[in-house]
């Protein structure tokens, strides 16, 4: 089968969760005997053109514009769609699998695929089909329950107030029409994301969870020790947090909980696997001022990333936005580490509360602190939860399982 994938960005230019998931799926499709290509974009003119990635043909189209125009360009990118049409006509794929297209390839690329009578599947990885940024206006901040009352219906007035001059009243209407008209199947990466987009009028066919290659998360003890020495972590209790850091990722709530933990446990350090930028540097400064020991590593990948997971005592993803899936949770569990994840979004479909980790409401700092202390002071419990998490990944969240579900769907649509 000849599969062509649409994805706005790819590693190494962008190392976000959805980008890594997409590239891993492409490689897995190819590994299972399919001919695979990817249409993506680049911000560097010198990077445009074709290349090969482990047998996957990658077509990079140059696209660069100011973010203020995204509500409009996300619908139709005049600098890109003609190139997409030309590549589709040349490659003649049996099926197209679209992922994130709302920044550069644009939703109009879905229309082009359908005009060429090619079966089309799109996977929604985030909330940007219904929201302009990280989605936070669906709960009451005062509701500290682990299962708080939520309202996923987007309200236009709130969007206008949030976006000001960037607000385009017809954006969501057009996105909804594109998604409800052109794809043969719309897939979400979590059941919770399915609920969210369906509450806003987008029809979803099914949910297929993301997966990882669990064998990639094995590592020698010596490499773990080397990592600890490199970042002065030997003899420390380590709480790991990874990803793009900002207010919506629950950083303030995490700092508040860590400050309380540090009052009783003096050997605890917060390990941040994140880009060194203005926000992360200010977070380090605030942590130091409040007595929280913190180490910022910058972006890690490969063996360094795996060593970091194995060096940690536990992993946290305390988002206060709608966190659609949370690959960090799966990577932690594949590394046999307990995960503490937010009740907001799809994390609760991965982490089983009190078995492979804990589900918390990050705004309830008392409970958040209690869960951190429980795992930092009880090594047997942490080990048991970590082993449970690894087993869950092997049973439900392997990359080959995810890829096979998509391939079965592709065969159904092309037969």
Which stretches of the chain score pLDDT less than 70? none
Give just the sign of the alpha carbon dihedral 178, 123, 41, 102: positive
- Residue 255: its pLDDT value, please? 97
How far out from the chain centre does Cα 38 lie? 19
CATH numbers and ranges of domains, the chain? 2-211+398-414 (3.40.50.2000), 215-396 (3.40.50.2000)
pLDDT tens, 310-342?
Answer: 999 999 999 999 999 999 999 999 999 999 999
373, 180 contact by CB (below 8 A): no
What's the confidence (pLDDT) of residue 272? Answer: 97
What is the pLDDT, as a whole number, of residue 300? 92
The pLDDT, as a whole number, for residue 353 is 98
What sign results for the dihedral spanned by CA atoms 132, 138, 143, 146? negative
At residue 226, the pLDDT reads: 97
Quote the pLDDT of residue 165: 86
Write out the two tokens for 162. Answer: 């949030």
Closest CA to 224 of 308, 299, 339, 302: 308
pTM of the model: 0.95
pLDDT number for residue 15: 83
């Amino acid at each position: 089968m000849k599969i062509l994938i649409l994805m706005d960005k790819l590693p190494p230019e962008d190392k976000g969760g959805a980008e890594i998931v997409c590239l891993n799926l492409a490689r897995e499709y190819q590994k299972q005997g399919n001919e695979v290509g990817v249409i993506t974009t680049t911000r560097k003119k010198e990077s445009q053109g074709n290349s090969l990635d482990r047998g996957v043909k990658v077509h990079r189209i140059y696209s660069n514009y100011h973010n203020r125009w995204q509500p409009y360009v996300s619908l139709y990118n005049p600098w890109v769609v003609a190139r997409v049409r030309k590549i589709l006509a040349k490659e003649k794929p049996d099926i197209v699998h679209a992922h994130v297209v709302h920044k550069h390839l644009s939703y109009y690329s879905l229309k082009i695929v359908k005009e060429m009578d090619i079966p089309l599947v799109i996977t929604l990885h985030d909330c940007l089909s219904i929201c302009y940024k990280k989605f936070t206006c669906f709960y009451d901040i005062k509701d500290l329950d682990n299962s708080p009352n939520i309202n996923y219906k987007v309200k236009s007035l709130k969007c206008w107030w949030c976006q000001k001059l960037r607000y385009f009243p017809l954006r969501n209407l057009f996105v909804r029409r594109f998604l409800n008209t052109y794809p043969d199947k719309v897939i979400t990466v979590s059941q919770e994301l399915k609920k969210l987009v369906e509450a806003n009028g987008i029809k979803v066919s099914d949910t297929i969870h993301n997966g990882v290659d669990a064998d990639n998360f094995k590592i020698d003890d010596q490499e773990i020790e080397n990592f600890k020495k490199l970042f002065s972590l030997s003899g420390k209790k380590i709480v790991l947090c990874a990803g793009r850091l900002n207010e919506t990722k629950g950083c303030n709530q995490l700092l508040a909980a860590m400050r309380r933990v540090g009052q009783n446990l003096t050997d605890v350090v917060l390990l941040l696997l994140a880009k060194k930028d203005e926000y992360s540097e200010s977070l380090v400064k605030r942590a130091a001022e409040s007595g929280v020991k913190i180490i910022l590593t910058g972006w890690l990948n490969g063996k360094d990333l795996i060593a970091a997971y194995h060096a940690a005592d536990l992993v946290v993803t305390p988002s206060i936005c709608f966190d659609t899936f949370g690959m960090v949770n799966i990577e932690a569990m594949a590394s046999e580490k307990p995960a503490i994840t937010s009740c907001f979004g799809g994390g609760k479909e991965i982490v089983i509360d009190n078995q492979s980790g804990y589900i918390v409401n990050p705004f309830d700092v008392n409970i958040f602190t209690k869960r951190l202390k429980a795992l930092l002071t009880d090594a047997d419990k942490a080990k048991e939860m970590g082993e449970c998490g690894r087993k869950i990944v092997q049973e439900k969240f392997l990359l080959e399982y995810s890829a096979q579900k998509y391939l079965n769907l592709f065969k159904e649509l092309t037969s």
